[in-house]
Every structure is written in structure tokens, then in C-alpha cells.
Amino acid sequence: MTNDLTGVWFGEYAYPVGEAPVAFIANIDERDGVIAGRVDEPNTFAMPDANRLFAHLSGIRDNGLVALTKTYDGTGGATHAVSYTGEINPAGDTIEGIWRTRGWSGRFSMTRPDLSGDLARETADALET
């Protein structure tokens, strides 16, 4: 795998105590170390009328480190930002680190499966809708 982070990533973030980890899907586009993308996750904290939450992702990659900001798009009333800092493994298919927001923090991990051809395009297209 390449260290370019472009692609579909499956991840989860954990709360510091007592809550189950939250799974998410991120569609990332990286150009010259600048990261943009979109995140889709189940609603675990916002208004109950929204089943899923969506966020914009922005950040940078510098060698084996990433700094990301996930900003919720308002679905379910969620509009806050979450900072993620992490380390990319040498194969370029896993990122692990810490998230922080409003006095909370916890661990996160993301894995990029080896999707090829039509399956990768279908997964990316589904995230864009």
C-alpha cells in the first residue's frame, strides 16, 4: 500500500469510560499532504431524529503523522469539531491516535482495506450521497 491516504477507511473511536466504541466510515482525498473528506457514523449523541451523522474532514499529513479536524455538518443538531492526531503505520493502511473535543478525549483507529476496482468506486460513491 501507499502512504497516500486517498481512499475509503473504516474506523472507530472510543470514549474514555463506559461507552461502546463508535464505528465510522471516512472517504479521504489527499493531495500533496492536504487532506479533505467526509465521515459517516451512527448517531450516538445528537438529536434522536437523525439515525446517522455526517461530517467534513480536513487536515494534513506530514510523513507518518496526521492531524485532522472532523466538523459535523449539522445533521441531528451536531455542529462541533473534533481534532484527531495519529500515526500512520509503515504499510500506510492503518492510522491510530487520539481524538479531542470540548474537554473529552479518547483513542481512535482507522484501517484502509485493500479495495480494488469497482468495489472501491461503489463504496466511495455511496459515501458521497
Query: Which residue, chain included where needed, has cell 450516538?
Result: 44
Residues 6 or more apart in contact with residue 59 via CB below 8 angstroms? 34, 35, 66, 67, 68, 69, 84
- Taking alpha carbons only, the member of 69, 38, 35 closest to residue 54 is 38
- What CATH number is given for 7-128 in this structure? 2.40.128.120
Report residue 101 as a C-alpha cell. Answer: 473535543
Q: How far is CA 3 from the centre of its chain?
A: 16
Report residue 56 as a C-alpha cell. Answer: 467534513
pLDDT at 123 over 80: no
pTM: 0.86
pLDDT in tens, 6-35: 999 999 999 988 889 999 999 999 999 999
pLDDT in tens, 36-87: 999 999 999 999 999 999 999 999 999 999 999 999 999 999 999 999 999 9
Residue 127 — left, alpha, or beta (φ > 0 → left; ψ -120 to 50 → alpha)? alpha
